[in-house]
Amino acid sequence: MSSAFPEIYLVRHGETEWSRSGRHTGRTDIPLTANGEAAAGKLIERLSGLTFSAVWSSPSARARRTCVLAGFGSDAVIRDDLAEWDYGAYEGITTTEILASRPGWQLFRDGCPNGEFAADVGARADAVIHALRQTAGTILIFSSSHFLRVLAARWLGLPPEGGVYFSLDTTSISVLGYEHDLTEPVIRRWNQR
């Protein structure tokens, strides 16, 4: 299903040891696993035939490596505002471990001590959306799960906390776009593996 309007392709980075084990990976640079590298390499085929007016990547090594293995490394512009959520004191810790000491905790509602809250991530997502709407053409973005979930929520005009409703697998492809005109942002495809 193609569109007459610009589309934004979102790619979550390939698998890392921490993404596989459920550890929150914000600013720690964890390399892709062998499986993550292989899946990222298959993105070449999955994105074949598409033309992008711009390619943007998070500064994380995992997103940049995914971008390179997908065949877009030489075209990528690194944007700091595409960085994953800063988990602060919860960096490297699983949700199960956090809940043991903080029952009822929910990332999108409660944020992270010494890190970011949904509003902080939402402000970065809003800056990205502003730049997207100023750039003509289809754009390819490589980033991480929680940031991309907030970006999708903000694209639709939902509060940043709305990202809780969107799940993303590693090396998934999602597409943001428009329906009838540029005033109707939609999610055209989500979490395609």
Read off the pLDDT of each residue in 28-56 and give the average, rounded to a whole number.
Answer: 97
Tell me: the pLDDT tens digits for 116-167?
Answer: 999 999 999 999 999 999 988 999 999 999 999 999 999 999 999 999 999 9
Q: What is the pLDDT of residue 124?
A: 98
CA dist., res. 142 & res. 153, Å (int): 17
Catalytic (active site) residue 13: yes
Catalytic (active site) residue 84: yes
Q: What is the pLDDT of residue 162?
A: 98
Q: What is the pLDDT of residue 7?
A: 97
Tell me: the pLDDT tens digits for 70-119?
Answer: 999 999 999 999 999 999 999 999 999 999 999 999 999 999 999 999 99
The DSSP secondary-structure symbol of 101 reads H
Instruction: Locate 5 and state its tokens.
Output: 């309007």
- Cβ-count burial of 60 within 10 angstroms (0-12 exposed, 13-18 middle, 19+ buried)? buried
Instruction: Locate 181 and state its tokens.
Output: 């005109």
Using DSSP bridges, classify how beta strands 173-178 and 8-12 pair: parallel, antiparallel or unpaired: antiparallel
Q: What is the pLDDT of residue 161?
A: 98
Phi, psi of 44 (to 5 degrees): -55, -50
Claim: this prediction has a pTM higher than 0.85: yes
Find the catalytic residue in 7, 15, 24, 84.
84
Fill in the amino acid letter for 150.
Answer: V
> Under 8 Å CB-to-CB from 185, ≥6 apart: which residues?
155, 156, 157, 176, 177, 178
pLDDT at 1 over 60: no
Q: What is the pLDDT of residue 2?
A: 62
- Strand 54-57: give its sheet, edge to edge: 76-78, 54-57, 139-143, 8-12, 173-178, 185-192
CA dist., res. 121 & res. 144, Å (int): 12
